[in-house]
Amino acid sequence: MTDRIREFLSARQPEGPCLVVDLDVVRDNYTTFANALPDTRVFYAVKANPAPQVLSLLADMGSCFDTASMPEIEMALAAGATPDRISFGNTIKKERDIERAWGMGVSLFAFDSEAELEKIARVAPGAKVFCRILCDGEGAEWPLSRKFGCVPDMAIELLERAWRLGLKPHGISFHVGSQQKNVHAYDDALAIVARIFRTLAERGIELKMVNMGGGFPTRYLRDVPAVKTYGEAIHTSLMNHFGNRLPETIIEPGRGMVGNAGVLQAEVVLIAKKSAEDRLRWVYLDIGKFGGLAETMDEAIRYPIETPRDGDALEPCILAGPTCDSADVLYEKNPYPLPISLEIGDKVLIAATGAYTSTYSAVAFNGFPPLQQFYI
């Protein structure tokens, strides 16, 4: 929560829920990543927050971009990135989109299956490809599970196949799971990656690049290790597993780049109990799962909430959104302590909401408009 955001909100008094992102924080975050891993290129994961203001700022600072779709590629280009600074990192792409991206000059593509590799070979001959390997996501609060990646043995076979298909087998990627609080999670993956590099080298294929993905956490309610600590752990792992033949490396921070730059202002619409004996109050806000707080799914991400009555006695409550869908409850299994004195009409500030909020908001579910956004 920065003074600039507070000043903006008090001067502008926006009506309805809104996200305010302080671009100075994004700028600091980029510098922190660049300094923590000076030999590693940063590919910002566009999906975390694709606002043009964020993308232009990062493009100007020299960032590259990890994209998942044609519109994301177009947004990165519009922000000033050249095609050689864009990776088409989704392992699930339509063949015609691969063809279009290749036509626009994008030359780096992810895959994790034989069929995807064949698509790339057909429409982007000679492209650089990297294979994503499975990671268990252990230690992450928002694990990416088994949806992406293949086992290392399959990665070896497929990269060899890539070479035979006329593609450039460029490297390996992994993602240790988002909001990964264990700085050593990258080490296990890097050990596997180094083994794949060695095996392929024995077969005459020299991989060049390791894409270490995202996972760098944002501080919500608890402290998280500093980016510098991740940088040191990763550097040590690279030295241990690759010795003095270090590969080219890239990281793809999303949450860690923008999460702490945003604050969401919301309003208390209703405070109610379900019976005279009800222990817990229900507090309904004008934003919920469909307004941008989708990461409260399974209560995975627990946001810090500031109220105008902080300092008063607290009592846990069930926190819910305003829509007529019973799934639109933010915290119920683990009720959220809020001041007993909280009143209908109070404005609350939900911090660390710069990542994975704005684009998760529904277009008009129940008539509620998409989340308003301000970039300052």
Ligand X SMILES: *Cc1c(COP(=O)(O)O)cnc(C)c1O
Radius of gyration of the chain (CA): 22
Question: Is residue 324 annotated as a catalytic residue, yes or no?
Answer: yes
Which of 17/89 has CB closer to ligand X?
89
45 binds ligand X (CB under 6 A): yes
Q: How far apart are CA 362 and CA 23, in angstroms?
A: 24
Strands of 208-359, DSSP E: 209-211, 248-251, 262-272, 281-285, 305-306, 314-320, 329-339, 347-351
Q: Compute φ and ψ for 304, nearest 5 degrees.
A: -75, 135
Cβ 255 to ligand X shortest distance, Å = 3
354 binds ligand X (CB under 6 A): no
Cβ 251 to ligand X shortest distance, Å = 8
> Could you say which residues in the range 235-264 bind ligand X, by CB under 6 A?
252-256
Cβ 194 to ligand X shortest distance, Å = 20
Which residue in the list 18, 64, 135, 324 is annotated as catalytic? 324
The region of 7-15, 25-33, 210-218, 330-338 touching ligand X under the rule CB under 6 A is 210-218
Q: Which string of x and - marks every residue 162-191 that binds ligand X (by CB under 6 A)?
A: -------------x--x-------------
41 binds ligand X (CB under 6 A): no
31 to each of 38, 249, 353, 355, how far by Cα in Å?
10, 17, 20, 18
Cβ 296 to ligand X shortest distance, Å = 16
Name the nearest CA neighbour of 150 among 171, 135, 161: 135
> Could you say which residues in the range 73-92 bind ligand X, by CB under 6 A?
89
289 binds ligand X (CB under 6 A): no
Binding test (CB under 6 A) with ligand X, winner from 48, 75, 129, 293: 48
Q: How far apart are CA 90 and CA 97, in angstroms?
A: 11
Q: How far apart are CA 137 and CA 291, in angstroms?
A: 27
Q: How far apart are CA 61 and CA 67, in angstroms?
A: 18
The size of the interface with ligand X (CB under 6 A), counted in residues, is 16
Q: Number of C-alpha atoms within 13 angstroms, CB side, residue 195?
A: 11
216 binds ligand X (CB under 6 A): yes
Which parts of this chain interact with ligand X (CB under 6 A)? 45, 47-48, 66, 89, 175, 178, 213-216, 252-256
Residues annotated as catalytic (active site), given as ranges: 324
